[in-house]
Chains A and B, each alone.
Chain A
Amino acid sequence: KNQVEQSPQSLIILEGKNCTLQCNYTVSPFSNLRWYKQDTGRGPVSLTIMTFSENTKSNGRYTATLDADTKQSSLHITASQLSDSASYICVVTLNTNAGKSTFGDGTTLTVKP
């Protein structure tokens, strides 16, 4: 069964600190991996998209890494802000069809002042 596992389930950090979220997947054949940020009750917002051949992608204070050999990805957030408090979701898409994606359960990040 294709799965996407995220850890930790939740995380609390102080404003200004860095953190790293993990995503392990077994989805195959792999097309791309995305990280989304979802504020409570709102639609997800795309942070990064990485294809099989990419191993890092940045978007401001967000940097995603991908190791396709070990099927692991991480999302690193630097200099966290209160507005970073949200759920971060890892999504892996099959290369047979753009629409077929498997979502992780997300990591809930809380940034405290």
Chain B
Amino acid sequence: DSGVTQTPKHLITATGQRVTLRCSPRSGDLSVYWYQQSLDQGLQFLIQYYNGEERAKGNILERFSAQQFPDLHSELNLSSLELGDSALYFCASSPTSGYADTQYFGPGTRLTVL
């Protein structure tokens, strides 16, 4: 158990809908990262937040957005969902935004768009 929690574990929805994925980092960790893992593309970095502020952005679509709240939990919002958004979404946390920090991954949320 990494100490990172993600909810829900599974999510099934329809195209065009909007969903919110939630992540609670390990106690004391200030950075939260979001990743997408689909069958045909492997793991891709989406976005990082550090202590409430956006720190780095990867291949995140404009239909997706994220935020980190004062209690350091984070939410990833996915809107106008398409079939291709079906994937595992992982959240990870680390103590700081340091380059060599170990990132601890949560169990993931499996999103299925029908």
Contacts and interface: CB of A to CB of B under 8 A. Distances in A.
Given A43-B90, A49-B100, A101 B105 contact: no
B101 A105 contact: no
A32 B103 CA distance: 13
Contacts of A99: 31, 33, 45, 47-48, 55-58, 97
B98 interface: yes
Contact of A100 (B4, B45, B106): B45
Interface residues of B, number: 30
B44 interface: yes
A21 to B, nearest CB: 15
Given A45-B2, A98-B48, A98-B55, A103 B42 contact: yes
Nearest to B94: A98
B102 interface: yes
B23 to A, nearest CB: 11
Assign chain A's interface to a size class. 20 to 34
B107 A49 contact: no
A91 to B, nearest CB: 8
Nearest to A51: B100
Given A49-B102, A99-B48, A101-B45, A43 B97 contact: no
B71 to A, nearest CB: 21
A42 interface: yes
Given A99-B33, A99-B58, A103-B44, A44 B105 contact: yes
Interface in A25-51: 31-32, 41-46, 49, 51
Given A91-B43, A97-B55, A101-B58, 6 more contacts: A41-B108, A43-B4, A43-B90, A45-B105, A99-B31, A100-B56
Interface of A: 31-32, 41-46, 49, 51, 89, 91, 93, 95, 97-106
Interface of B: 2, 4, 31, 33, 42-45, 47-48, 55-58, 88, 90, 92, 97-108, 110
